[in-house]
Amino acid sequence: MIFNAGVIMDKVGSPANAVGGKLPADVINPIFAYSLNRKLRYLYEGQYFRYSEAGNEYDYPARTPNLANEVTVLRIYDQKEKYGVSKVDAVANGTPPTLKLENGIYSCIFDGTGWFSGSPAHAGLVSSDFHVLLVAKTDFPRPAVGIWNDDNEISVSPSTEGVGKFSVNRNRGGMIKGSSNVYGCFYGVDASQNNKTVMSVNDEGHNVKSEELGDLNQIGIGRMRERYYIGEVSEVVMHLETLKQVWGSLITGQTKQFYKDYV
């Protein structure tokens, strides 16, 4: 249950911890929630990612990586809790991305030969209304997130040197970086726009044609079909139609605050 701006209610109806209520996987339950740096649910007590170092595997934050060694990321744990939708971790394929730490922020470094696969079942839940929260940076637009089948596709391509792209089939929106590498990408019906379909990035958007996406069956972090990503990713969270644009703006703003030093 939602109470005011992102504050959740506990089981007896009292406002729960406001910080917890503003975390991305608390405001509305997502279909997946991956982060290298923080818990995305207030009550989450698990690990963030699994990594390989000097021939051994460990979990973070149970053990802090020693970046004097080469460290690769093998798995990003799904932090969400959603009734009827199982947790599915993002698993490395091809060359596992290397781990980077800068200004206290971990990120995966993709070199165009590896990616993380998500759940085909999760992809099949995606319809014509959704929100993708992405924390990533790369020089020129490349697909940090892709969801697709043979006929339809969704992609989010950040950029620090040019204009990034948020695409839903032939609908495209520009992604201006501004002062942040956090992108909140919304596609769906917006009541404030006379219930027209819109696509927006960080509240800047336009009306577009509504698309029937069919049965999407692939999720890639660092990949969109045969296009592979070169750049960094720190966090990806995806919500469906229950997350209206106003709540997307809330979690995007909160995430910008957390990643204020990720520039």
Q: Which range among 21-30, 95-104, 184-193, 200-209 shows the weakest confidence by mean pLDDT? A: 200-209
User: pLDDT > 70: what percent of the chain?
Assistant: 89
What is the maximum alpha-carbon separation in the chain? 57
99 pLDDT exceeds 90? yes
Q: Which range among 49-63, 85-99, 241-255 shows the weakest confidence by mean pLDDT? A: 241-255
Task: Name the DSSP letter for residue 141.
Answer: -
Q: Is residue 22 part of a domain?
A: yes
- For the segment 219-230, the average pLDDT, to the nearest whole number, is 97
Range(s) of the domain holding residue 38: 2-258
Q: Give the sign of the dihedral formed by CA 102, CA 114, CA 57, CA 71.
A: negative
Which among 166, 238, 170 has a CA at the least distance from the CA of 202?
A: 166
Q: Is residue 263 part of a domain?
A: no
Q: Is residue 55 part of a domain?
A: yes
Q: Is residue 20 part of a domain?
A: yes
Note whether 72 and 92 are within 8 A (CB): yes
Q: Is residue 211 part of a domain?
A: yes
Confidence of residue 108 (pLDDT cuts 50, 70, 90): very high
pLDDT value at position 62?
Answer: 98
Q: State which H helix or E strand residue 136 sits in.
A: strand 130-137
| CATH at residue 207 | 2.60.120.200
Note whether 181 and 137 are within 8 A (CB): yes
Which among 153, 159, 154 has a CA at the least distance from the CA of 141?
A: 159
Q: Which range among 41-50, 133-142, 233-242 shows the weakest confidence by mean pLDDT? A: 233-242
pLDDT digits (tens, 9 = 90+) for 112-148: 999 999 999 999 999 878 999 999 999 999 999 999 9
- Beta pairing class for 49-53 and 90-94: unpaired
16 pLDDT exceeds 60? no
Please tell me the total count of domains within the chain.
1
